[in-house]
Amino acid sequence: MKKRKETELDFEIDELTNSITNALTGEVFETKIIRLVNKDSHQIKKANWVFDWHKELKDHAKGIYKLTTEHNPFVIHGLICLSDENDHVFMHLIENAKFNKGANKFYKGVAANMVAFGCKLSFEKGYDGVVAFVAKSHLVEHYKLTLGAKQVSTNRMFIDTKEAIVLIQLYFKDFKP
């Protein structure tokens, strides 16, 4: 079996919210995370993303999910690429939309919302919420502090059951692990 190249992730957890929050007004917007399928690929404009999400969409072993708001499902706030590894969920890529990055971002809580979704998916598959990923070295401590992630090796990390439950309870209140 060919070993997949793992991308080092460099997403920022700006804030743990209970949905996504407008950075200026504090207004909270309910979100939806749904699987992106090939027919929806036109929603991903290459200029708005660092990663080549069209390439990821072609890899059928991975699932690409988009985060939108309940009231505007056509604006993608973030994308996440996950795969089922038979005992955990692996997070290959995660990215906030361009307008949700940096000091002038429009919304907070986007990345954490998507990570919580990965944990929820892990529970749904019977993996106790465990999500693994490879972090850029300079962000290892950040993920330990913000997500409660644990370090397996130099930059390979995972979110365990207890921490997964905390995230899920913030973003998916109706879900019972």
pLDDT in tens, 140-158: 999 999 999 999 998 999 9
Crossing angle of helices 110-124 and 161-171, in 10° steps, is 120
Query: 98: exposed, middle or buried (C-beta count within 10 Å: 0-12, 13-18, 19+)?
Result: middle
pLDDT tens profile 65-88? 999 999 898 899 999 999 999 999
Q: What is the pTM of this model?
A: 0.91
The domain defined by 20-171 folds into: Aminopeptidase (3.40.630)
d(CA 21, CA 15): 9
Domain boundaries, the chain: 20-171
